[in-house]
């Protein structure tokens, strides 16, 4: 485990929620610094662990263990890569959806407004579209949608208009240039929160995070054995709502389906009816965990 790269959030609660046993086949969908993976390996005996991470920097944290298989790709391709390894069923899946501390603290990645850096925000730097491209090329209505839906910004139209006007004078290249424009539209006293939402919205668009999450959840349901566990840690309301609806109903809208006799058709049994959040001690030791929500479900 590389705790400098990323401190695992709610490690005991999340790994415990997987209900592991010797011989289990497990997926860590968001490897990061390897903290969760290390704990999983302690509990699966002669089982196997398949860890996904699209960030090339995560490959520096690999675990030297014959039971461990690292796949440097987005977890949306879960089913394809497990098929490559001859795996059609698995016992447990863990996904910590937070951006790693390493990415936020690495000034050159452009994830944080704390640094003056290139507007990148790509988790996979092999992808062509970065944050600068979006700001400089997307039409106004697309920018409005990004900031309103992904950033949950109330004055998204005004912000998008300001970005369009600014880029007519000069193309966006750095986080500071975006920050200067965004601050013109930030509510007084909530500047940092507003900037966080602006950067969140852009990051989600750059990495196609919501569609990737939908594909991952669908694949998870298909791959898990009956009785298999899915554990998800979310950090903002968009992804949490998506996960909550899917675990409760099997669809992303939360529509409850029934059979001919009116019996509820549900794919999972919820292990925790009430969402699990970090304790006070963990939040003090790892402030970035404060918005985390843990959900555990078992496939029926």
pLDDT digit string (tens) for the chain, length 300 residues:
555 566 899 999 999 999 999 999 999 999 999 999 999 999 999 999 999 999 988 989 999 999 999 999 999 999 999 999 999 999 999 999 998 877 787 888 999 999 999 999 999 999 999 999 999 999 999 999 999 999 999 999 999 999 999 999 999 999 999 999 999 999 999 999 999 999 999 999 999 999 999 999 999 999 999 999 999 999 999 999 999 999 999 999 999 999 899 888 999 999 998 999 999 999 999 999 999 999 999 999
pLDDT at 91: 98
Question: Considering only CA atoms, which of 129, 112, 96 is closest in space to residue 13?
Answer: 96
| pTM for this entry | 0.94
pLDDT at 2: 55
Question: Considering only CA atoms, which of 266, 292, 257 is closest in space to residue 277?
Answer: 292
* Joined tokens for residue 184: 């013109």
pLDDT at 7: 85
Chain centroid, CA 48 distance in Å: 23
pLDDT at 99: 87
Domain 108-207 has CATH 3.10.180.10: no
pLDDT at 25: 98
pLDDT at 104: 80
Question: Considering only CA atoms, which of 178, 295, 185 is closest in space to residue 244?
Answer: 295
pLDDT at 4: 58
Residue ranges of the chain assigned to CATH 1.10.150.170: 108-207
Would you identify the CATH topology of the domain 11-102+209-299? Answer: Rossmann fold (3.40.50)
Give the whole-angstrom CA distance, residue 15 versus residue 26. Answer: 11
Residue ranges of the chain assigned to CATH 3.40.50.150: 11-102+209-299
pLDDT at 51: 98
CA distances from 256 to 245, 247, 250, 251, 252 (A): 9, 11, 8, 8, 11
């Amino acid at each position: 485990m590389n705790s400098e790269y990323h401190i695992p959030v709610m490690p005991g609660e999340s790994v415990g929620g997987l209900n592991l046993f010797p011989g289990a086949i497990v997926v860590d969908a968001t490897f990061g610094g390897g903290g969760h993976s290390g704990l999983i390996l302690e509990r699966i005996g002669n089982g196997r662990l398949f860890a996904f991470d699209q960030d090339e920097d995560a490959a520096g944290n690999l675990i030297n263990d014959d039971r461990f298989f690292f796949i440097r790709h987005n977890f949306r391709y879960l089913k394809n890569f497990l098929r490559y390894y001859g795996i059609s069923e698995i016992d447990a899946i863990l996904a910590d959806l937070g951006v790693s501390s390493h990415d936020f603290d690495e000034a050159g990645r452009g994830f944080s407004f704390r640094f003056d850096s290139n507007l990148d925000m790509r988790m996979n730097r092999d992808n062509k579209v970065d944050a600068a491209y979006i700001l400089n090329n997307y039409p106004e209505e697309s920018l409005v949608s990004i900031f309103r839906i992904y950033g949950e910004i109330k004055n998204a139209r005004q912000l998008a208009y300001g970005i369009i006007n600014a880029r007519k004078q000069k193309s966006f290249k750095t986080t500071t240039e975006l920050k200067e424009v965004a601050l013109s539209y930030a509510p007084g006293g909530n500047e940092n929160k507003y900037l966080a939402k602006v950067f969140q919205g852009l990051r989600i668009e750059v990495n196609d995070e919501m569609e990737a999450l939908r594909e991952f959840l669908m694949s998870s349901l298909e791959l898990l054995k009956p009785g298999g566990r899915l554990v998800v840690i979310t950090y903002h309301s968009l992804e949490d709502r998506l996960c909550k609806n899917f675990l409760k109903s099997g669809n992303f809208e939360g529509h409850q389906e029934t059979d001919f006799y009116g019996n509820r058709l549900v794919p999972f049994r919820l292990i925790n009816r009430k969402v699990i959040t970090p304790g006070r001690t963990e939040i003090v030791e790892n402030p970035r965990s404060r918005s985390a929500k843990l959900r555990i479900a078992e496939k029926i």
